[in-house]
Amino acid sequence: MTRHLLSAADLSLDDATLILDTADELARVSDRPVKKLPTLRGRTVVNLFFEDSTRTRISFEAAAKRLSADVINFSAKGSSVSKGESLKDTALTLEAMGADAVVIRHPASGAPHTLAHSGWIGGSIVNAGDGTHEHPTQALLDAFTMRRHLSTIAGRKVVIVGDVLHSRVARSNVLLLATLGADVTLVAPPTLLPVGVDQWPCTHSYDLDASLVGADVVMMLRVQRERMNAAFFPSVREYSRRYGLDADRMSRLPEHAIVMHPGPMNRGLEITAAVADSDRAVIIEQVTNGVSVRMAVLYLLLGGSDSALGGDL
């Protein structure tokens, strides 16, 4: 049993399928007049955010509340942490408050891992994005969205485009999609692919147009304008021209292909407004699905005496 969700690599095919199936059932709850289940009544879920991310925090908050958990939001940025309080002290505080699960967002890669293995805290740890490492629930909601549109993921061609080097979304997606049997291609300028990417369970390319041929899914990653100053690319214009998704490129995709983006988008940089607002784009749906997937994760980790993940199924 794994009590934590730290990396998409922790999930077997059975685990991932169980989460997606459970999310499927829970998605129906959202359509009901009473969007609430009593399952986690009396359990405390702490959203521990060391980094601003309103969308991820409210998604987890909605998920926990729909399962009737008590939710505590601990925004550590600009509060006690800036006064020198460490991750350890924060963890010990949460432990004293009786947190059953800690959903953590942290700018340092591996911080959730440290929290889970430090002995500072007894509850389940859910990684809600750590540095440039991983964001496993984002990958799960992306897979969930793909499955809803394409019915199957195995054998599908997924093209992930953009700042792979700094993207926790890309790392988690590559790992999870490989587990689910998809055929993933990363597309980026060579400066934005990590050294060692050739060891990942995917292929990579510098050529967006060639990679889009036959794609079932195109996932655009957020590119921060600051990267330009660090010479990762010469200019926003050149980046958009070579790696942005515009209407022309979208028109060459197969008819059933969908366009995804983990948000927040830089309209006009990695994606044009025309694409973001088109029928192909499932970006808003990703947000909706995030709640169902996070409900599934919280339920499977906390709903029983023991986690439902990582077992021999």
Partner 1 sequence: MTTKNSAEGVLIKGANLLGTDVSDVLVLDGVIAAIGPDAARDAGSDCETVDAYGLVALPGLVDLHTHLREPGREDAETVASGSAAAAVGGFTAVHAMANTDPVADTAGVVEQVWHLGRRAGLCDVHPVGAVTLGLGGSELAELGAMAESAARVRVFSDDGRCVSDAVLMRRALEYVKALDGVVAQHAQEPRLTENAQMNEGSVSAVLGLRGWPAVAEESIIARDVLLAGHVGSRLHVCHVSTAGSVEILRWAKGRGVDVTAEVTPHHLFLTDEHVRTYDPRFKVNPPLRTQEDVDAVRLGLADGTIDAIATDHAPHSLEDKDCEWAAAAMGMVGLETAVGVAAAAMVDTGLLDWAGMADRMSVRPARIGRLAGQGRPLAVGEPANLVLVDPETRYSVDPQSMESRSRNTPYAGVELTARPVATYLRGRLTASEGSAQR
Partner 2 sequence: MVRSESSHEAREVLDADDVQRALTRIAHEVLERNKGAHSVVLLGIPSRGVPLAQRLAARIGEVEGRDVPFGSLDITMFRDDLRLRPARGLGRTELPGGGIDDAVVVLVDDVLYSGRTIRAALDALSELGRPQSVQLAVLVDRGHRQFPIRADYVGKNLPTSTRETVQVLVSELDGSDAVLIGGTADDDPADPTREGRGSV
Quick one: which segment of 36-44, 186-194, 226-234, 256-264 binds partner 2 (CB under 8 A)?
36-44
Q: What, of partner 2, partner 1, none, does residue 111 touch, CB below 5 to 8 Å by kind? A: partner 1
Examine residue 10 and tell whether it contacts partner 2 (CB under 8 A).
no
CB of 154 to partner 2, least distance (A): 20
CB 246 within 8 A of CB 222: no
Residues 232 and 191: beta-carbon distance below 8 Å: yes
- Encode burial over 145-168: b for 16+ CB neighbours within 10 A, e otherwise: bbbbebeebeebbbbbbbbbbbbb
Distance CA 58, CA 77 (A): 16
Q: Other C-beta atoms within 10 Å of 1: how many? A: 12
| Class of residue 281 by CB neighbours under 10 A (exposed 0-12, middle 13-18, buried 19+) | buried
DSSP for residue 5: B
Contact residues for 179 (Cβ-Cβ < 8 A; gap 6+): 8, 11, 12, 13, 16
When the beta carbons of 2 and 59 are compared against partner 2, the nearer one is 2
Between 170 and 295, whose beta carbon lies closer to partner 2? Answer: 295
Q: Does 195 bind partner 1 (CB under 8 A)?
A: yes
Q: Within 247-266, which residues bind partner 2 (CB under 8 A)?
A: none
- Edge-first strand order for the sheet with 203-205 is 203-205, 183-187, 157-161, 217-220, 258-260
**Closest distance of CB 202 from partner 1, Å:** 12
Selected binder of partner 1 within 123, 194, 244, 262 (CB under 8 A): 194
Binding range to partner 2, per CB under 8 A, among 22-30, 175-183, 195-203, 217-225: 22-30
| 180 SS3 class | coil
Binding mask 92-131 for partner 1 (x = CB under 8 A): --------------xxxxxx-xx--xx-----------xx
Question: Measuring CA to CA, which residue among 181, 156, 158, 152 is closest to residue 170?
Answer: 158
The pairing of beta strand 70-75 with beta strand 183-187: unpaired
Query: For the window 197-236, what string marks contact with partner 1 as x by the rule CB under 8 A?
Result: x-xx------------------------------------
Residue 34, contacted partner among partner 2, partner 1, none, CB below 5-8 A by kind: partner 2
- Binders of partner 2 among 293-312, rule CB under 8 A? 299-308, 311
Return residues touching partner 2 (CB under 8 A). Answer: 1, 18, 21-22, 25-26, 28, 32-34, 36-39, 67, 299-308, 311
What does the binding site for partner 1 look like in residue numbers (CB under 8 A)? 86-88, 106-111, 113-114, 117-118, 130-134, 168, 171, 194-197, 199-200
